[in-house]
Chain A
Amino acid sequence: MNRYLTLLWNGLIPENPIFRLALSLCPAVAVTVSIKNGLMLGLAVVFVQVASSCTVSIFKNFIHPRIRIPAYVIIIATWVTIIDMILPVINPAVYKDVELFIKLIVVFAIIISRLELFASKEPLGLSFFDGLGMGIGFTFGLCLVGAIREFFGAGQLYGYDVLGFQPLLVMILPAGGFFVIGFIMATFNWAEYKITGKMPKSGGGH
């Protein structure tokens, strides 16, 4: 049981997909103008990550290593197609904002890298929790960026007016997303430096 919790925690902070692994940055900037959008895409990613991790874990012995990447892509694309049909029924308004990125989950590096590095080697239970941890970490990252941008850009949180005015309009413009992520990454680096006394090596970037 303990190992499962470690995997969950691992995805949340030490290997957070967005801030530490620097994977799947496109949606992190694009849909995070509000918490709602971030949450919607995050949940979609949790679903796709868990479902495809489990699928690959179950079928790992049947997938020939030479064609594993195309096989993974097809598995991911199948689950994405399913979630792409479910979400518009649940919340059409928010879905409209994030539609393109839901479809683009297929090419999110985070999912395929977890399949390659984890699910293709480990048993079902571990893969499930690894996928869940990564998905939750991704959702956490999206919501954090979304909250900061929504608060400073629109003066709102989760659609509710908090400030009543817009302190920094630039935050909800395209540029704001880049700034916020840059500063959050720097904060993570700084925190790690304070705790461990070592400067972390910067993420690979794709």
Chain B
Amino acid sequence: MSDDAFSQLVDQYYPSLYRFALSLARSEADACDLAQQTFYVWAKKGHALREAAKAKSWLFTTLYREFLRGRRRGERMTALDTVPESELEDVALTSETVSSMDGAVVMAALQEVDVIFRAPLTLFYLEDLSYQEIATALDVPVGTVMSRLSRGKAQLRALLTSRSAANTSIVVPFQPSKNKASHG
């Protein structure tokens, strides 16, 4: 692969790959490592891929595998698999609430979603892959991706709602009083 072609591939996908990595690894440094490692693997092996159109899926798949490889053994993949359907009902989270939040806060909430849901959910929000492509990238059936998206969204919205509520209760506008009270 020529340098130009490699640069184009990096420019096209490294932002999404980094954000996907950040949601998985929960740390900026680890996310950078994962993104770099993914392109490093591409530079070594990816050029052998016959169909250039598959490069996108290949990159996301590789990053996810690299992430799984680096995880601690025995770490639980899921905590919400047993959440009953009844708890997946819509929470009162509006799009306006989300829009008013900082991007880092939304990412922090996403990072708290169980990784088994987090991976497909992040790929869904990055919008690079269809749910069928997500299934291929994560090597799970398409029905499982749909189910995990549903559960992942419910979990994320619950987390965003609680963060929004927490921010509301913590942030107190500074109001200078004329008669300064004396505190103990």
Binding between chains A and B: no
Which residues of B are interface residues toward A (Cβ below 8 A)?
A: none
